[in-house]
């Protein structure tokens, strides 16, 4: 029986090699990665679903009863909704953090299969750090909306800048998790890595995103076949939202979402592969240039060489 060769993580890749190495890595490691998802991420997503199933039907019912009852109901349900959102945020942050900690360990110890202990050793600090970066980005996004208040010019400035930054920060979580950098230097590191490869990064994100969306849509269609009556009833004006989005409907949708997230391993692994490619392309070229300079007569202490961090 022949064993598939482990793809080298740190190497420069073109688009085809990025996609090919993504699926090659998944073929070798999908079981431990899926196990990490089930053990550490699913409990948070499941708790978020259960809390949402308790709160959302009553909230939707208030929409049908009239706008006068929405605010009191929202205030009453806000603790449940906040807990549900918090669990979802934690689970959604844990997921890529675990994937990149796993890939970090694979890169550090080639040929060894990372254990759960290896992946969880830095899980808490890296998850908290990723959450801090997410909250900072949300804050910056909200403050940036002030610019949009300027007619025409504000929108022309804000929208392109946000699109550019969002693409740059698609590798922010790999940078934060795989490298050990002080907060908030990962922002500039991600921008530096993507600069000059922005369109390429956008293409990778779009293609792999479409693949994940297609897989998720297939699962969603399967769920709709089971809950098709509820989906049809939403078009019935005589039905109120509280009866359409009842507890069972929300639970089924939440469980469907949890199953769909398994296949987003493809997205997270692909962005990790892309990150290692950008690191090799940018850092190795900078190191080669300095070595060439030293070899051609340039003098300087060995400490002048850049220290690479992972």
| pLDDT above 90: residue 129 | yes
The structure tokens 């060894």 sit at 112
pLDDT digits (tens, 9 = 90+) for 212-230: 888 888 877 776 676 554 4
Q: According to the model, what pLDDT value does residue 147 have?
A: 67
DSSP annotation string for 157-216: HHHHHHHHHHHHGGGHHHHHHHS---TTTHHHHHHHHHTT-HHHHHHHHHHHHHHHHHHH
* Every domain of the chain and the residues it spans: 15-287
For residues 127 and 93, the answer to whether their CB atoms sit within 8 Å is: yes
pLDDT digits (tens, 9 = 90+) for 34-69: 999 999 999 999 999 988 887 776 666 655 555 555
Of 60-64, 167-171, 181-185, 282-286, give the range with the top mean pLDDT: 167-171
């Amino acid at each position: 029986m022949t064993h598939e060769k482990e793809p080298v993580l740190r190497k420069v890749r073109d688009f085809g090699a990025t996609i090919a190495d993504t699926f090659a890595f998944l073929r070798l490691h999908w079981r431990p990665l899926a196990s990490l998802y089930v053990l550490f991420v699913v409990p948070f997503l499941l708790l978020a679903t259960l809390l949402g199933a308790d709160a959302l039907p009553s909230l939707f019912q208030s929409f049908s009863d009239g706008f006068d009852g929405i605010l009191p109901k929202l205030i009453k349900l806000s603790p449940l909704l906040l807990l549900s959102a918090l669990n979802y945020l934690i689970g959604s942050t844990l997921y890529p953090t675990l994937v990149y900690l796993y890939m970090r360990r694979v890169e550090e110890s080639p040929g060894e299969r990372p254990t759960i202990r290896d992946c969880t050793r830095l899980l808490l600090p890296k998850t908290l750090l990723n959450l801090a970066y997410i909250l900072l980005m949300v804050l910056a996004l909200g403050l940036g909306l002030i610019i949009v208040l300027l007619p025409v010019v504000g929108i022309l400035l804000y929208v392109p800048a946000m699109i550019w930054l969002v693409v740059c920060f698609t590798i922010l979580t790999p940078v934060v998790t795989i490298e050990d950098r002080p907060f908030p230097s990962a922002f500039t590191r991600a921008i530096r890595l993507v600069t000059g490869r922005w369109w390429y990064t956008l293409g990778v994100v779009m293609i792999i995103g479409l693949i994940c969306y297609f897989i998720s849509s297939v699962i969603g269609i399967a769920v709709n076949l089971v809950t098709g009556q509820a989906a049809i009833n939403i078009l019935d004006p005589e039905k109120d939202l509280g009866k359409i989005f009842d507890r069972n409907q929300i639970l089924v949708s939440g469980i469907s979402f949890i199953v769909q997230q398994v296949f987003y391993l493809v997205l997270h692994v692909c962005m990790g592969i892309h990150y290692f490619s950008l690191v090799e392309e940018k850092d190795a070229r900078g190191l080669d240039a300095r070595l060439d300079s030293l070899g051609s007569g340039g003098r300087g202490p060995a400490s002048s060489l850049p220290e690479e961090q992972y």
